[in-house]
Amino acid sequence: MTILIIEDDQRVAELIERGLREQGFTPTLAYDGLSGKKLALQNNFDLVITDIILPKMDGIDFCKEIRQTKPDLPIIMLTALGTTDDKVEGFDAGADDYLVKPFEMRELLVRIRALLKRNNKTTNASGFILKYDDLEMNLHTKIVKRDHHEINLTPKEFKLLEYMVQNPNRVLSRVEIAEKVWETHFDTGTNFIDVYINYLRKKIDRNFDKKLIHTKPGMGFILKAEQ
């Protein structure tokens, strides 16, 4: 498995590189965002690890630009910025996971293996449609419609809604959503899941009398068709 590491701190970059080599991965280093972008576009990496604060091009812009041509390339963001807003910005840019510095190498390895395992699950998704009530999701084109009106979602909003549509009419806890959608342990100190639920509710429910996304206080959230 080949992994691109984009990190301007040479010591951190080399520590990650050494740790990955010891686990049998083949890492490549880049020390700024532009070099990382060039490498990512010219090669078929299995995964990218990128810092957010980088010279020449930051990790957020890198992620947005890579997503235009390689929407399925797994990306893990490493950063010292750990607030909810920072995480939301990273996920909205297209990151698959987010790890706050300082971190343990074994935690990074767990995140890497989870993303690679998920990405290797090939699905015949050509024209595959998920439906619930008047909501429709095309897993191939990533187009979402409600009552035939197209709705624009970010990658993480799409993934969250996809999980809810696959598990309708039952309460999904924040812990379950964190593990199944973000593939991470839920941090009770942040509310990024509530933030994303609110984003979805505004886009999916705001212009419709029938509401689909509901909060169960103290328990979690449920996709259920109710007036």
Q: Please state, in angstroms and as integers, the Cα–Cα distance from residue 123 to each residue in 41, 118, 119, following that order.
A: 24, 11, 10
Q: Is residue 11 part of a domain?
A: yes
Q: Are 72 and 119 in contact (CB under 8 A)?
A: yes
In a domain, 212, yes or no: yes
Same domain for 146 and 104? no
**DSSP code of residue 35:** H
Q: How far is C-alpha 144 from the geometric centre of its chain's CA atoms?
A: 17
Do 112 and 7 share a structural domain? yes
Q: What is the pLDDT of residue 122?
A: 41
Domain assignment present for residue 21? The answer is yes
98 and 158 in a single domain? The answer is: no
Q: Do 133 and 114 fall into the same domain?
A: no
The CATH number assigned to the domain holding 9 equals 3.40.50.2300
Residues 151 and 110 in one domain: no
CA 108 to CA 48: how far, in whole Å?
Answer: 12
Same domain (yes/no): 49, 154:
no
In this prediction, residue 124 carries a pLDDT of 42
Backbone angles phi, psi at 220, to 5 degrees: 150, -140
Torsion 59-64-69-75 (CA) sign: positive
Q: For the chain, give percent helix, strand, coil, nearest 5.
A: 40, 25, 35
Q: How many distinct structural domains can be found in the chain? A: 2
Q: Domain span at residue 137?
A: 129-226
Do 112 and 9 have their domain in common? yes
pLDDT in tens, 124-159: 444 478 888 889 998 878 889 998 899 999 888 998
Question: Are 170 and 197 members of one domain?
Answer: yes
Task: Quick: pLDDT tens for 102-123.
Answer: 888 989 999 898 888 776 654 4
* Cβ-contact 217, 210 below 8 angstroms: no
According to DSSP, the β-strands at 47-51 and 75-79 are parallel
The predicted structure's pLDDT at residue 123: 41
Q: Is there a single domain that holds both residue 14 and residue 110?
A: yes
Q: What is the pLDDT of residue 39?
A: 92
- What pLDDT does 126 receive? 40
Structural tokens at position 127: 């024209």
User: Which ranges of the chain have pLDDT less than 50?
Assistant: 122-127
pTM: 0.59
Residues 135 and 115 occupy one common structural domain: no
Q: pLDDT at position 38, please?
A: 92
What is the model's pLDDT at position 127? Answer: 43
